[in-house]
């Protein structure tokens, strides 16, 4: 049986052995990732004053999705709303009550027509449903109008619509 000889001398042999040991040791090093992405998908709505063309804050009595029993947002003062859109329906509507100057509450309804796109962020994070706004409108008891700023609604919170107040 022929004797196998490393053709490169002692340094090369030693180098090969060390690299082999390091490689085998590193085979045991495994990583386990956790989800680091944001898994909430919200439409961001900013309130704007039509008179001053600037952001404004309103006192809200409640925000409630039409067709559900639960309230999304309890009384608060806010200049921005984060609203979840329906993942399995193309129409989402929210009823919002606003406090007027005379301390009475007036309710308006904001409608969104949208498409839904299930999307897997990663194995660790699972899936979310993203949306593309096609239209937005509102009743005009307290509100003036709604304009779409960014139609794509995903897990990155950016202003999607402006709700204009007279």
C-alpha to C-alpha distance for 67 and 69, rounded to whole angstroms: 7
- Closest approach, Cβ 79 to another protein, in A, equals 21
Of 34-53, binders to another protein (CB under 8 A) are 34-35, 39
- Closest approach, Cβ 53 to another protein, in A, equals 31
Sketch the per residue contact string, 72 through 111, with another protein: x for CB under 8 A, - otherwise.
Answer: x-----------xxxxxx--x-------------------
Binding site for another protein (CB under 8 A): 4, 6-16, 18-20, 22-23, 25-31, 33-35, 39, 65, 68, 70, 72, 84-89, 92, 117-124, 126-129
């Amino acid at each position: 049986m022929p004797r196998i000889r490393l053709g490169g001398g002692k340094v090369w042999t030693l180098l090969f052995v060390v690299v082999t040991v390091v490689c085998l040791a590193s085979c045991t090093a495994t990583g386990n990732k956790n989800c680091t992405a944001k898994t909430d998908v919200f439409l961001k709505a900013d309130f704007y004053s039509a008179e001053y063309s600037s952001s404004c804050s309103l006192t809200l009595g409640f925000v409630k999705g039409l067709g559900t029993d639960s309230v999304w947002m309890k009384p608060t003062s806010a200049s921005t709303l984060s609203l979840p859109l329906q993942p399995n329906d193309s129409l989402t509507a929210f009823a919002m009550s606003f406090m007027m100057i005379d301390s009475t509450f007036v309710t308006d309804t904001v409608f969104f027509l949208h498409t839904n796109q299930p999307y897997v962020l990663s194995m660790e994070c699972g899936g979310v449903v993203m949306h593309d706004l096609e239209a937005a409108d509102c009743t005009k008891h307290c509100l003036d109008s709604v304009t779409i700023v960014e139609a794509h609604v995903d897990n990155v919170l950016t202003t999607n619509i402006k709700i204009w107040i007279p």
